[in-house]
Amino acid sequence: MNLFYVYILRCADNSYYTGITNNLERRLQEHINGLDPKAYTFFRRPVELVYREIFNDPEQAIAWEKQVKGWNRKKKEAVIAGEWDVLPELAKSKNDSRRIKKGTEE
């Protein structure tokens, strides 16, 4: 059975990198060793693995990676901390600010 991992790295500049792989150990070593100068993490090393989720279905893994990549820092930090219960509130506050910015608040 193939496993797929969605992971978050904390970079030396305190930014986050979200990725997906079918071999977490290999991919983490690639980030640590800095094999690709064009990679986001290359100049942000060292990196630290702060979150991982395991999937059996590659489509679910890809969907989760895309979702997390689109999130702001606060939502990513909630996931890293395992604070799943605060995600709806963080999403709500973002949606509220969009309405206010567009001048459509109720």
The 8 Å CB, 24+ separation contacts for 69-74 are: 69/18, 73/16
Burial class (CB in 10 A: 0-12, 13-18, 19+), 17: middle
Q: Can you give the residue ranges of every domain in the chain? A: 4-102
Phi first, then psi, for residue 99 (nearest 5°) are -65, -40
Q: What integer is the mean pLDDT of 8-14?
A: 98
pTM score, whole prediction = 0.85
HSE, CB side, 13 Å, CA atoms: give it for residue 62.
Answer: 3
Identify the helix (H) or strand (E) that includes residue 8: strand 4-10
Per-residue confidence band for 82, with pLDDT thresholds at 50, 70 and 90: very high
Weakest-pLDDT range from 19-33, 41-55, 78-92: 78-92
Helices 87-102/73-80 angle, 10° precision: 170
Topology of domain 4-102 in CATH is: GIY-YIG endonuclease (3.40.1440)
